[in-house]
Amino acid sequence: MNYAPVALFVYNRPDHTRRVIKSLSLSSGATETALYIFSDAPKNAEASRSVTEVRSCIRDIDGFKSVTIIEREKNWGLAKSIINGVSFLCDKYEQVIVVEDDLVVSKAFLTYMNKALSLYLDEENVMQIAGYMFPMNLDVSDDALFLPFISSWGWATWKRAWQNFDPEARQYQELIQDATLRNRFDLNGNYRYFKMLEAQQTGKSESWAIRWYLSVFMCGGLALYPKKSLVRNDGFDGSGVNCAVSDIETSELSESFSPVVFPERIEVTGCFDSVLKNMPRPRLSISSIINRLRSLLRKALHAKRVDIS
């Protein structure tokens, strides 16, 4: 099997970073996998200590074929870092598996990703492999299914698909002018993706993922999802720079689940309507709000100490 490299993006969360690295090292195929860690520089003085701690914990890693660390000298932000890192590895390896620091992956994660990358290598309509699946029971015979939208929680792609990524989201104007197309983009009105795109285009968000979804959508692309989740998201705790003070019902890892039977027909699954009906919606998170307020308080105290000095 031709193992794809893993791009891991980290910033200022040392505990999250340790968890995701441990889970990746325990995933079958880790010893055959080249791990690239992209460490962003601190955005401000308040983040320096935690970024330093993250960089300390990533310098002593084993269990992989190789470990390459890219430490940014200036703060790039998550969107720019991911776009650059994915482009770099796609150019070098023709494929890449992408993981962020707030995720935990199952022991079957790498095997699933690499099998799917190999199986659908030449299928132009398949543009992403997703590792996460929403918390729902699906009545499908295969171990994976195709859906017409992407996931940002542990995913993979090929250079042939990523070359369609448009960071400028130029086709945003087509959605503005075409209500029918806009409704399809919003999964038949079930999810407000256009609002997310609008926020990115007006400078309220820097989301790379909504631009990637737009690129896939306008190509008529599909993403392969496992029937049960191989990824858990631990990021809804208010610790992340890009984490809103909200929560969403997320899936636990299915450690006993290892996808074996993949769909032969490249088409949207027949249970798509059921998926849309049962997709979880964001909700207010008290713990996330408390953690975010604590973070803001620490920043304020730090700024006060700097002013006094």
Other CB atoms within 10 A of residue 14 CB = 19
User: What's the rounded mean pLDDT across residues 131-145?
Assistant: 93
pLDDT band at 237 (very low <50, low <70, confident <90, very high): low
CB 85 within 8 A of CB 7: yes
Q: Taking residues 117-128, report their average pLDDT.
A: 98
* pLDDT score recorded for residue 73: 97
Q: How confident is the model at residue 235 (pLDDT cuts 50, 70, 90)?
A: confident
Average pLDDT of span 273-281? 87
- pLDDT higher than threshold 70 for residue 232: yes
- Confidence at residue 244, expressed as pLDDT on a 0 to 100 scale: 47
Q: Tell me: the pLDDT tens digits for 75-103? A: 999 999 999 999 999 999 999 999 999 99
Rounded Cα–Cα distance for residues 24 and 294 (Å): 30
Mean pLDDT over 184-197 rounds to 95
Q: Is 8 helix (H, G, I), strand (E, B) or coil?
A: strand
Q: How many residues are present in the chain?
A: 309
Supply 64's token pair: 């992989």
User: Which pLDDT does position 277 carry in this prediction?
Assistant: 87
Question: What's the CATH code, domain 6-308?
Answer: 3.90.550.10
Better-scored residue on pLDDT, 138 or 100: 100
Domain ranges for the chain, please list them: 6-308
Other CB atoms within 10 Å distance of the CB of residue 282: 12
Share of the chain above pLDDT 70, in %: 87
Q: What is the pLDDT of residue 121?
A: 98
User: Rg of the chain's alpha carbons, rounded to an integer?
Assistant: 19
Whether the CB-CB separation of 154 and 209 falls below 8 Å is answered with no
Tell how strand 283-284 and strand 246-247 pair up: antiparallel
Please give the average per-residue pLDDT across 107-136, as a whole number.
97
Q: What DSSP state is assigned to residue 228? A: S
* Distance (Å, whole) CA 309 – CA 305: 6
pLDDT value for 202: 96
**What digits encode the pLDDT tens for the residues 40-62?**
999 999 999 999 999 999 998 99
103-105 vs 6-10, strand pairing mode? unpaired
Residue 271 has pLDDT above 70, yes or no: yes
Between these two residues, 119 and 282, which has the higher pLDDT value?
Answer: 119
User: pLDDT class for 139, splitting at 50, 70, 90?
Assistant: confident
Please determine, for residue 164, whether its predicted confidence score (pLDDT) is greater than 50. yes
Please, what is the average pLDDT of the chain?
90
What pLDDT does residue 252 have?
Answer: 86
pTM summary value: 0.89
Dihedral pair phi/psi, residue 222, rounded to 5°: -125, 155
Q: Residue 307: its pLDDT value, please? A: 53
Residue 108 backbone phi and psi in degrees, to 5: -95, 0
CA dihedral of 80, 20, 223, 89, whole degrees rounded to 10: 50
Confidence of residue 254 (pLDDT cuts 50, 70, 90): confident
User: 251 falls in which pLDDT band (50, 70, 90)?
Assistant: confident
